[in-house]
Amino acid sequence: MAEAERIIGTPDTPEAAASGPEQGEAGRPRGRRRIAVLFAVAAFAYVLDLVSKLMVVARLEHHAPIEIAGDWLKFEAIRNAGAAFGFGEAFTVIFTLIAAAVIVVIARLARKLYSLPWAIALGLLLGGALGNLTDRIFRSPGVFEGAVVDFIAPKHFAVFNLADSAIVCGGILIVLLSFRGLDPDGTVHKD
């Protein structure tokens, strides 16, 4: 456990205490590296989502679905004005505001970030939120009312996109980190 705490940058380890809570190896600030990881993960998730949606709109929209694994998994272009499972299509503006609020909260939390796993989790959330927010702002029917492009269609499940996947993976990672007692600032609660 001590080795894991040293790797994730827990301030209460002897190595962290010797170099100060904001210093890593060679005296470089750990927080800046974690912030860089957060934004690199977010940029990767966002670009991957954006490129996939551009390809889906250009090549799959108004065409027959493409079967990937028989009828168990296919790519099918769907415009979703609501949230997950098409829920709340009348509340598109509210979902847009929620996504914007998530982005602001993550940006504010980044200043106190000293945990690599939290940087990855928040980066996934940020990239996914930006991906779906881009659709809400720039896609028809209008600004803040745009429909999200979904295309991954497993059998007997909702159609989703890569931004949704990033959000879910980031959320699961946050829950796991919370159960482990790891805070974004790198402290570990030993209850």
Q: Which of 71, 135, 164, 185 is catalytic?
A: 164
Half-sphere exposure of 81 (CA within 13 A, CB side): 13
Separation between Cα atoms, residue 46 and residue 129, nearest integer Å: 8
Q: Is 164 a catalytic residue?
A: yes
What is the length of the chain?
191
Q: Is 191 a catalytic residue?
A: no
Q: Which residues contact 154 (CB under 8 A, 6 or more apart)?
A: 72, 73
CB contact at 8 A, 114 and 186: yes
Using CA of residue 133, residue 48, residue 148, residue 178, what is the dihedral sign?
Answer: negative
Q: Which of 12, 49, 135, 150 is catalytic?
A: 150
Provide the Cα torsion 158, 162, 165, 171; round to 10°.
-130
DSSP state of 21: T
Tokens of 119: 């940087």
The rounded radius of gyration (Å) of the Cα atoms in the chain is 19
| Catalytic residue IDs | 150, 164
